[in-house]
Chain A
Amino acid sequence: MAAYRTPRSTTLGERLREHGVSRRGFLKFCAATASMMALPPSMAPAIAAALEQARRPSVIWLSFQECTGCTESLTRSFSPTVENLILDVISLDYHHTLQAAAGEAAENARMEAMQANAGKYMVVVDGSLPGPDANPGNSTIAGVSNLEMLKETVAGAAAVVAVGTCASFGGLPKAEPNPSGAVPVSDIIQDKPLINVSGCPPVPMVITGVLAQFLTFGELPELDEYNRPRAFFGQSIHDRCYRRPFYDKGLFAESFDDEGAKKGWCLYRLGCKGPMTYNACATMKWNGGTSWPIESGHPCLGCSEPDFWDAGGFYKPLSVPLGNSSEVLLTAGAVGAAIGAGAGLLSRHKSKAAKAKHQSVTVEELEQKL
């Protein structure tokens, strides 16, 4: 990424033109961004003006306990559209998967960027990290623990973007029994503006959209209770699903190759977690708007929600309880039956004993007692 660090003074508009992006194409992107963020169309010129003038912001991308899927999503799926160029023209000063430098040179790039842009750079994190109570040796980069590197890098940052469900909520590393003591970024960073862009991986346009918003307004977008941008995570998959009419009519696929599945009916009974999942897949789709999981016939896994990995089987309907209910029922039933039988027999015994103790008394005897 060394090439991207110079020239720092060039504006985004100039860089886009250098990359052959027409003014028209650029404005189209701005209009699309405005609509994605639920802003009025009149905001598109304002976004364009802000982006034109934006200096290439320095971005430090930290990859911790992750699978690189987030980076794959970002770099591959949308290439070579204007969104990709937006990322080209931010100054991605450190990203140990993408950067050419290795070893000390790579770490020096991070330190350099931190010093040169102190207080202004943006930190993007993908992957969870071993928490303060975990063995720091569970995940290290250049001999530095993830926790230490995060704290050190974020100290001088303007804002932090947690990309992917691992960075946002702990994700797969945090799944039961969480052997590495993984925690999300939000557990560690509490004194900086933080945006969670969850998803496993997130929709690429959501990542670029969040960066565009930050460049345009210099402030965080409106966030939901999980610090996710409302513009992209404001509505559930279920509410925007094109198969929703089938749910409302009660038409469901019951296996992956039955008539319902072939007709494209609702996948609720096959384990779709769409009703509890908030993400932009249903509207923005994947692979440049080609398709998305439900459109290709697979239920939503709920990957943008916290603890999705532990939220029950992917192919079990949302209403199915977690754990082994049948076993609990049998055990509890047996215990209940045993206690019930015991109580019944005890009562029987009591009434028999009472009967045995019963003494008859005559009127004369009673009168004598009086």
Chain B
Amino acid sequence: MINPMELLLFVKGPLFQAALAIFAVGILIRLVEIFALGRAHNYAEPRGGELVPGLRTVYKRFNPDPGTFKSAPFDVVVGIIWHIGFIVALLLFIPHVELIKATFGIAWPALPNPVVDGVTAITLVGLVAALIHRITHPVKKFLSTPGDYLIWGVTFLPVLTGYLAYHRLINPYPLALSIHILSAELFLIVLPFSKLTHIFTAFVARWYNGATFGRKGVQS
């Protein structure tokens, strides 16, 4: 059996590099292809700019429209909570900031551990609630594909294993950390080839929408 330390060095080393490479290749293929495809030429005279309205829509779509909130308040509230929690835990936890600094060469201030810990706990509850809702809600259940459950698992695992590793609930620690890094690598690998791509494409789509509005002179 492979020992925990060997496992840690493997997942922190070659496997992380491989996951990172797959992620970078995958996501850039997806994004650059979208941009390289371009848009059909619009012969109509533009009535306004594209950039500012595009960016405004990128921002404005963070606010749920009243209709959506009224028809699906659970999805809006829980969705926002766990998305924010996930992003906070991912980007503002000190060990993650150090990892990003070493990988991307950029860094920013982080939050104190207890804050991230609390946010992570809320995120876990939010994700579990989202799954229960998906399973129990007849329409959502009908619409859900195996892929949806897979993506839920791929998203849930890094948060759960991170929480377990931070609280040292799996021993020895190199094993806990290995499992956490492994789950994060799974997330990275799956990301470009699944609906997780929305992490990037959501903003592209929003911008195109807003830009189209702007060009037509419609309020974005």
Contact = CB atoms under 8 A, between A and B. Distances in A.
Given A268-B95, A321-B17, A305 B174 contact: yes
A323 B13 contact: yes
A333 B32 CA distance: 11
A335 B29 CA distance: 8
Contact of A336 (B25, B35, B112): B25
Given A276-B174, A320-B102, A328-B17, A248 B113 contact: yes
Interface in A232-270: 236, 238-239, 247-252, 268-269
Interface string B178-209: 00000000000000000000000000000000
Contacts of A224: 172
What's the dominant secondary structure at chain A's contact region?
A: helix
A297 interface: no
Contacts of A320: 98-99, 102
Interface stretch (A57-65, A337-345, A357-365): A337-345
Contacts of B103: 321, 325-326, 329
Nearest to A246: B113
A276 B177 contact: yes
Interface stretch (A127-135, A140-148, A306-314): A306-314
B104 to A, nearest CB: 7
What's the dominant secondary structure at chain B's contact region?
A: helix
A89 to B, nearest CB: 35
A321 B98 contact: no
A275 interface: yes
Most buried by A among B22, B174, B177: B174
Contact of B32 (A225, A310, A316, A336): A336
B81 interface: no
B114 A325 contact: no
Interface stretch (B1-9, B56-64, B138-146): B1-9
Given A226-B3, A250-B94, A332 B24 contact: yes
B9 A322 contact: yes
A286 interface: no
Contact of B12 (A236, A312, A333): A312
Contact of A348 (B20, B24, B37, B102): B37
Contacts of A239: 168
A329 B103 CA distance: 8
A343 B29 contact: yes
B116 to A, nearest CB: 8
Most buried by B among A251, A323, A340: A340
Nearest to A278: B172
Contacts of A318: 95, 177
A317 B25 contact: no
A258 to B, nearest CB: 15
A115 interface: no
Contacts of B30: 340
Interface in B86-119: 94-96, 98-99, 102-105, 110-115
B21 interface: yes
A81 interface: no
B28 interface: yes
Contacts of B177: 275-276, 318
A350 to B, nearest CB: 11
B72 interface: no
Contacts of A329: 20-21, 24, 103-104
Interface of A: 224-226, 236, 238-239, 247-252, 268-269, 275-276, 278, 305-307, 310-312, 316-323, 325-326, 328-329, 331-333, 335-337, 339-341, 343-345, 347-348
Given A225-B4, A322-B9, A339-B29, 4 more contacts: A307-B6, A317-B99, A318-B95, A336-B29
29 contacts: A225-B4, A226-B3, A238-B168, A248-B114, A250-B94, A251-B112, A268-B95, A276-B173, A278-B172, A306-B5, A307-B5, A319-B95, A319-B98, A319-B99, A320-B98, A323-B14, A323-B17, A325-B17, A325-B20, A326-B102, A329-B24, A332-B24, A332-B28, A336-B27, A336-B28, A340-B29, A340-B30, A340-B33, A345-B36
Interface of B: 3-6, 8-9, 12-14, 16-17, 20-38, 94-96, 98-99, 102-105, 110-115, 168, 172-174, 177
